[in-house]
Structures are given as C-alpha cells and as structure tokens.
Amino acid sequence: MALRLATRPAGLWVYDVEPAPLAELEAAGATAAGSVAELAAAVDLVCVMVRDDEQVRDVLGQVLGAAHDGLTVAIHSTVAPATPRQLAITAERHGVRLVDAPVSGGAMGAADGTLAILVGGSDEAFAACAGPFATLGSHVVHAGPVGAGTRMKLARNLVHFVAFTAVTEAQRLAEAAGLDLLELGRVVRHTDAVTGGPGAIMHRATTAPVDPDDFWFDVLGHVRALGEKDLRLATELADDLGIDVPLARLALERLGPGLGLPTTTPPDHAQEGTDE
C-alpha cells in the first residue's frame, strides 16, 4: 500500500519500526521519518496499518502528541468493533479527524491498487482521504459513521473464514473419495470467478422474509432447491465415507431460512436446474 502511495505527486512520508521496509520505500521515493511524531507533524493524512488494537492505540497516542490543525488519521487495521469510536473521541479532543478504513483484497489487491476500502467517518473526514484511497483501491465505500468500516470488514471476513472452514470439510470429503485436491481447488477458483462465489446471492437490501410476490422469491427458491439437494447428496457421501461434515449439515438446516424463505419449499421450486 505504501509503495502505491509513493507514486503520488504529493509525496509520501513513512515510518516503521523495522529498517528494511523504510529502505525499500526510500528507494521508491518516499521520505523516511525518524518517529511517528515526526511523520505526523509533516503530513495532513496519517495511514496506520499495524497488527492489533494495542498497537493502533500506541501509534495514535504518538500521532496525537504531534497533532496539528487539519490532520486526519486513517486506521486500516482490523480492530474490535468499539475501538474506532473510542479512538475518534480521543482524536477529536486534539482537533484530529479519524476514520476507520479496513481493507479487503489481500496482498494482490494492495500491489495493484484494487483493494476494497471500507470507510467509517464523517463526510469531511472521508473527503480528506478520498484522493489517497483512490490510489490504494478500486472500490472505496463510505460505509457510514466511525466504526461502520470495521463492522463491514468483520461481516465480510465472516464470509471469508466460514467459507475457508467449509473448504476444509470439502477437502476431507474429496480426499476420502480419492479425488485430486489440487484440481478441486482449481475448479473452485474457476467457478467462483465466473459466478461470484458466495457474494452471488448478496443482492437484497434486507434479511427480512421474502414476499412470494418478490422477484427474489423464485430466484432464491431455486438456489435453495439446488443447494438442499446437493447438500443432502454431499452429506450422504460423507456418511458412506465416514467423514464428519458438521458445517454441511448446518447449512442444510439453515440455508432456506437464511435466504428468507418459508420452512417448506413450494413444489415448483424443487425442480432440477443447472448446478453451479
């Protein structure tokens, strides 16, 4: 992310506790500060990317010790839900604006500037970050007030890591069935790139029950019918092979209600269709 920012005409000040990243960034044209306070005194926007809440609080304390009018701080670290608001209150006492701006997209997105950046903060603070954030990401979202960015990141990562856990079940099932796990991985990545993966069903603005007259009732009913059929077949295979697949069994129980559909799927929604 810092290497991306180093390409901006406005220039970049950087600080790290390790010398190697600073040397790399200096070679890219950035100016290395001797401390967090020196960096904060020299810039209008401080972007903080550290490991956890404790480190974020430590860095912000050093920033606020050198605070000046017009300073904005962006917290990119994923922290506890209550932390951004607490930090914003502290920053405001020093005349500093603060946004929580966690990112999604991994090292690949950071390298090519295609991150999703999920921003919580005031309109004024969001505007102060807009230019640099456009260099870092291709999808910048003003999620709401301070804390909204973090809450959105936690919801997004819930999908990520529950899916990873489901993958471990699928791998055990596939291995027991004598399948090539590397080829299965290639199939999953290929089809997710085509269909959009789990995000393919995220088109409603509410989780309320779906009205039968709603366009999405038939669409999600079809998803449910296919999903329940395939989950039953997968759990039957797991039973035959002696493989424990608790997430698959939970998904079979909760898929329909989670989609907002009635407990019993109407017969016309149970027809066979094209599987993903």
**CATH number of the structural domain spanning residue 95:** 3.40.50.720
Domain end point (choices 125, 152, 179): 152
Residue 273 confidence class, pLDDT cut points 50, 70, 90: low
Amino acid at 175: E
Task: Please give the pLDDT value at position 274.
Answer: 54
Buried b (16+ CB within 10 A) or exposed e, 188-227: eeeeeeeeeeeeebeeeeeeeebeeeeebbebbbbbbbbb
Task: Look over the chain and give the mean of its residue pLDDT values, rounded to a whole number.
Answer: 94
CATH number of domain containing 207: 1.10.1040.10
List the catalytic residue out of 4, 97, 142, 153.
153
Give the integer Cα–Cα distance in Å for 123 and 103: 19
Find the helix or strand (DSSP H, E) in which 240 lies. Answer: helix 215-241
Share of the chain above pLDDT 90, in %: 94
168-222 pLDDT, tens digit per residue, is: 999 999 999 999 999 999 999 999 999 999 999 999 999 999 999 999 999 999 9
Q: What's the number of CA atoms in the CB half-sphere (13 Å) around residue 108?
A: 1
Question: Using one digit for the tens of pLDDT, what is the confidence trace for 232-244?
Answer: 999 999 999 999 9
Q: Specify if 196 maps to a domain.
A: no
Residue 145 dihedral angles phi and psi, to the nearest 5°: -70, 175
The verdict on 215 and 146 lying in the same domain is no
Query: Is residue 147 domain-shared with residue 229, that is, in the same domain?
Result: no
In a domain, 164, yes or no: no
- Examine the domain organization and report whether 41 and 103 are in the same domain: yes
Q: Is the pLDDT of residue 270 over 50?
A: no
Residue 180, in any domain of the structure: no
Place of tokens 């950071």: 110
- Asked if residue 34 belongs to a domain, the reply is yes
Pick from 139, 21, 16, 132: which is nearest to 72 by CA?
Answer: 132
Q: Which two tokens stand for residue 133?
A: 């954030």
pLDDT of residue 52: 96
Structural domain count, the chain: 2
Supply the pLDDT for residue 263: 79
Write down the pLDDT at residue 98. 98
Known active-site residue 153: yes
pLDDT at 271 over 80: no
Q: pLDDT digits over 117-138, tens only?
A: 999 999 999 999 999 999 999 9
Are 69 and 145 in a shared domain?
yes
Q: Do 146 and 223 share a structural domain?
A: no
Are residue 20 and residue 86 in the same domain, yes or no?
yes
Structural domain harbouring 88? 2-152
Are 81 and 21 in the same domain? yes
Q: Are residues 89 and 220 in the same domain?
A: no
